[in-house]
Amino acid sequence: MKFSVVKTLGYFLGGIWTARGGRKRIEARQRKNLRRLVKTAREKSPYFKELYAHLPDTGVLKLSDLPVTSKSELMAHFDDWLTDRSLTLAQARQHMESMDNLGVPIGQYAVFRTSGTSGEPAVIVLSASMLEFIFGLALARMSRRQFQFAKKIERSGTNVIVTGGNGHFVGAGFDLLRQNLKIPLKREFQFIPAEQAIEETIKQLNEITPMASIVTYPSMLTILTREQELGRLHMEPAAIKVAGETFTPELRKRAQKAFPSLQFDILDAYGCTECLFMAFECDCGRQHVPEDWVILEAVDENHQPVADGTLSATALLTVLANEAQPLIRYELGDRLRFYPDPCPCGSPFRSFEVEGRQATVVRVGEVTLSPLAFDLEHERARRVQMIQTSENVFEVRAELLTEENPEEVLEQVIESVGEVFTKNGLPGVKIHKSDAPPQLTASGKFHEVISRPLIPARER
């Protein structure tokens, strides 16, 4: 696997040139990239060759002609999915068995896995060109303010990453891959595994001064914000970046207040293992799609497009830079709403907001509730979690601050949760307490509410 600085520069300069040309140039570039990807997929991926067998010539194809693909289908045909026959699923899995191989390329590729919250984890293959795209295009899409800021904080202290460390996850592995490939970047990172006890994380964070930036999941930021508010954590990051989960405006406001050391708005990086650079946040706080290389479609349950301004049931992702493992109209499960008006920042790229992910919504019978409806904070607990064990039954778990009277904490939480269900017309819901510790996802994310997935949703 060889990373090319020249090709990265190509993505950067091409990206600048495309943006300057406005909508017309962006759409032309997207069309050209899509046809090239479809052509490669048809020629080199036996799976896509068969899937697209009945379709017209690539030169006249439209995106809507292409069938939707799903993670489970693609994973079931992994060895026929890739456009390169030299890497098999068995080889990738064997490579990932040892944590010593985290961020170590296998032949021409790097491999990572998703957490598999909703079933079998996906194995994602990154080629050098995907990395060149990520570095080059992300730089091209940065605003001047973001660029100046990145330069400023680069050497102002330690950059910390708090994500899952119990598997080949991209959060912990990407920087190791960068080091292995000798990709020049002045920033150095310190990794803290999200799975360890919060107390240990706080201890480590308190020792890091000066701290330039911290990158973590919104669920971990929620916990850190609260610990900072209560005076147990004293970190002073100049910048915070969140990724991997929905970032709510409420948390943004609260964290910005709790960390007065911040010199920049909290950056919300909407991405996933399948496409690390899926959107970019502008100075107005909107997410924009880098449409020359990424296609995001907001669609209903039947995969038909929804109008701008309407919340989608799911989203379809097409990654035009990944020719090794084609992701074309790949169902993500995230719910998006495209803005009907142009963004005040003046970007020609379409903008959207992420409303949440299907798996995080709680469904009981015909009633759908947001996890935010429940108040799962307790002054005597570090974190409280509610798990839906069957349609009408929930379980409450907690990581307590003191050993003193744990029953009382759980009972108070159960009472408050029960009130929310009753208020929403669900008095019959049963809530039990559990002595087990809160459950984390395979990639170390803490979800306050774990609902029963009713429809296949993308894992985080």
Q: Please give the residue ranges that form the binding site for Zn ion (CB under 5 A).
A: 282, 284, 286, 343, 345, 347
For the chain, helix (H) and strand (E) counts, in that order, are 13, 20
Q: Which CB atom, from 19 or from 238, has the smaller least distance to Zn ion? A: 19
Q: Which CB atom, from 245 or from 281, has the smaller least distance to Zn ion? A: 281
Q: Which CB atom, from 343 or from 417, has the smaller least distance to Zn ion? A: 343
Minimum Å gap between C-beta 281 and Zn ion is 8
Find all residues with CB under 8 Å of 310, minimum gap 6, and list them. 298, 337
Minimum Å gap between C-beta 351 and Zn ion is 5
Q: Which CB atom, from 2 or from 20, has the smaller least distance to Zn ion? A: 20
Strand, helix or coil for residue 1: coil
Q: How far is CA 210 from the centre of its chain?
A: 27
Minimum Å gap between C-beta 347 and Zn ion is 5
- The end-to-end CA distance of the chain, in Å, is 27
Q: Which CB atom, from 147 or from 455, has the smaller least distance to Zn ion? A: 147
Distance CA 195, CA 201 (A): 9
**What's the longest Cα–Cα distance across the chain?**
70
Strand, helix or coil for residue 43: helix
Minimum Å gap between C-beta 345 and Zn ion is 3
Distance CA 36, CA 128 (A): 18
For the chain, how many residues are written? Answer: 460
Distance CA 151, CA 133 (A): 20
Minimum Å gap between C-beta 11 and Zn ion is 21
Minimum Å gap between C-beta 338 and Zn ion is 13
Strand, helix or coil for residue 421: helix
Strands 158-163 and 211-216: parallel
Minimum Å gap between C-beta 18 and Zn ion is 16
* Nearest alpha-carbon partner for 124 in 385, 319, 299, 267: 319
Q: Which CB atom, from 104 or from 345, has the smaller least distance to Zn ion? A: 345
* 263 neighbors 239 (Cβ within 8 angstroms): yes
Helix (H) or strand (E) segment spanning residue 184: none
Q: Which CB atom, from 268 or from 395, has the smaller least distance to Zn ion? A: 268
What is the token pair recorded at 299?
């669609």
Q: Which CB atom, from 241 or from 447, has the smaller least distance to Zn ion? A: 241
Strand, helix or coil for residue 77: coil
Q: Which CB atom, from 51 or from 282, has the smaller least distance to Zn ion? A: 282
* Nearest alpha-carbon partner for 48 in 428, 329, 397, 378: 329
